[in-house]
Amino acid sequence: MKNLHDKLFSRGAASLTDEELLALLIESADDKRDALSIASSILAQYGSLATLPRQELSRLRMVEGIGLRRAERLHLAAEYGRRVAMATMNEVESVSTDNDVVRLMRPHFDTISHEECWVLYLTSSNRLLERQRVSQGGVQATVVDHRLIIKRALELLSTQIILVHNHPSGAAEPSVADKQLTQKIKAAATLFDIRVLDHIIISREGHYSFRRGELL
């Protein structure tokens, strides 16, 4: 482990592999087992670092080599990363493309296992006024009240909005319900001269843009 600490000090955390990063996070002076070997077996079981924070604490602690304290440490590290990502989101000033939206929202969606729907409120020049979570639900679906979206857009004097939601358990392809919701919000927004620029679905496999797919 000394070699890993030397690598961290001399080359920075970005130089560490996933296995090395995990090993340093779970390293314990009270446990003589090789943290690198434990990290390797954990990654072999779960596939990637991204899947670990989504595990319930009670379940994660039962994985051989982790235990309660290490499980807590992993959850805290993931939450720290999520909050840093959310703080970075607040610094974004404008959104022009679906890729901008994905870069803005993926750090949040990658840390949750349920579905959420967000709205980005923009000016006519694409300046981001606010991002708002308008609903959250289970693994398969979420319920959105289009009236609350329009109300907030009017309060902010927003002339353009982008809808964003995630598919935590599947591909990014839109469902029938997704298409119906988009058209309902678009119809309501049109009454107040508010433009729905896009509806973007983000999954672990990629993302789908309603505008690129010519569904808007």
- What confidence tens digit (pLDDT) does each residue in 104-134 have? 898 888 878 889 999 999 999 999 999 999 9
- In this predicted structure, the answer to whether residue 9 has a pLDDT above a threshold of 60 is yes
173's tokens: 């392809």
Could you please state the CATH topology (level 3) that the domain comprising 93-209 is classified under: Cytidine Deaminase; domain 2 (3.40.140)
Categorize the per-residue pLDDT at 43 as very low, low, confident or very high, splitting at 50, 70 and 90.
confident
Mean pLDDT of the chain: 86
Whether the model pTM is above 0.75: no
CATH 1.10.150 occupies which residues in the chain? 2-86
CATH code that applies to domain 2-86: 1.10.150
d(CA 70, CA 31): 11
How are strands ordered across the β-sheet holding 160-166? 128-136, 116-122, 160-166, 195-203, 206-209
More confident residue, 179 or 141: 179
pLDDT at 29: 60
